[in-house]
Amino acid sequence: MHNIPIITLDGPSGSGKGTISKLIAKHLNWHLLDSGALYRLVALVAEQHRINLTNGAAIAAVAVHLDVQFNTLDDTVQIVLEGEDVTLAISSEQCAMNASRIATHVLVRKALKARQRAFAKSPGLVADGRDMGTVIFPHAHLKIFLTASAEERANRRYKQLKNNSINASLPDVLADIKQRDERDLSRSIAPLKPAQDATLLDCTGMSISEVFAQLRSLIKIQDFKTQG
Ligand code: C5P
């Protein structure tokens, strides 16, 4: 795995890392890991099977047996769970909140570790999450920690939900973001924090294309295009 070039993008909810990761993966023609989707999928299945979200062992078993496919279609990724398209189902705020609850279990994180590492394939991987640079890919070649103010992140998330025709109110989205931040930052296992060797970028007030342009120059310095 160490000779496969890897770029990690970590950061809180709504920091834009999902969109930016997709753009970088497309730019380099690399694989993409949306690790948040894995946590959301586990939360979805746990809910469908009426598993208590405090039952770490039962939820870890769900994580081990997850039958999922990520299909890249132009600019979007379709997520298929046991043959069913669940892309929209896992994008809800409820699913995100449940994902942050189940993500606090050591056994669940352990169960998803190997699955996440298996995404590292030639010619390279862009990995998006909370602990990509710290725990899953500590040897990544470039680590980015993207953040923005909670208000700006809530605004972006609110627009995203509206675009997907999902009902939401801005104050509720902001409250959810703050609650998830708190849970992600304070958990004892793999808390949200920048790796020591990560490049920090606060993108409050920046457009996606401005963030992408800044990161492209970092990638250029690394000259990944000639590797792999
Ligand atoms: O990134 P996304 O919002 O889809 O993640 C949903 C939740 O999954 C996060 O709030 C976080 O609690 C959890 N997560 C995590 N570690 C990751 C990715 C996501 O704990 N690498």
Amino acid letter, 208: I
More reliable by pLDDT, 76 or 38: 38
Place of tokens 């995203």: 160
**pLDDT score, position 75:** 77
**Taking 80 as the threshold, does the pLDDT of residue 219 lie above it?**
yes
Residue having the nearest C-alpha atom to atom 11 of ligand 1: 100
CA of 95 to the centre of ligand 1 (A): 11
Share of the chain above pLDDT 70, in %: 97
Average pLDDT value for residue range 143-147 = 97
pLDDT digits (tens, 9 = 90+) for 50-69: 999 999 999 999 999 999 99
7 backbone dihedrals φ, ψ, rounded to 5°: -115, 130
Give the residue-averaged pLDDT of 39-51. Answer: 97
- Nearest Cα neighbor of 14 from 183, 174, 143 is 174
Nearest atom of ligand 1 to the alpha carbon of 103: 20
Pick the CATH number of 6-219 from 3.30.70.2190, 3.90.870.40, 3.20.20.70, 3.40.50.300: 3.40.50.300
Kindly report the protein residue whose alpha carbon is nearest to atom 6 of ligand 1: 36
User: Per residue in 162-186, pLDDT tens?
Assistant: 888 888 899 999 999 999 999 999 9
100 Cβ closer than 6 Å to some ligand 1 atom: yes
Q: What is the reported pTM? A: 0.93
**Mean pLDDT rounded to a whole number for the chain:** 93
